[in-house]
Amino acid sequence: MGRCGGKSRPSALRAPTGLVMRLLRTANAASSGLRSEVTSLRQAIALLGPRPVAGLSESLSIARSLTLS
């Protein structure tokens, strides 16, 4: 079994570039009251929460499947 150290990245944090960009853009739009910009995927997920992240992921997946067919 592997250890979860500070440098370990859970598989949930490996995401397609388009999804990461969308999450960061959304998190920064939602965080206009914050003093600093959201710059990491981990920050964006923590700020937005699981439901919006899942929704964005699903919508991008559906959009990609429609453009590929």
Tens of pLDDT, residue by residue over 13-52, are 567 888 899 999 999 986 567 788 999 999 999 999 999 9
Q: What is the pLDDT of residue 1?
A: 41
**Stronger pLDDT, 21 or 8, i.e. the higher one:** 21
Q: Give me the residue spans of the domains in the chain.
A: 16-31+38-68
Average pLDDT over residues 59-66: 86
Q: Rounded CA gap, 66 and 53, in Å?
A: 20
Residue 44 has a CB neighbour count (10 Å cut-off) of 23
Decide: 22 and 12 in contact? Cβ < 8 Å: no
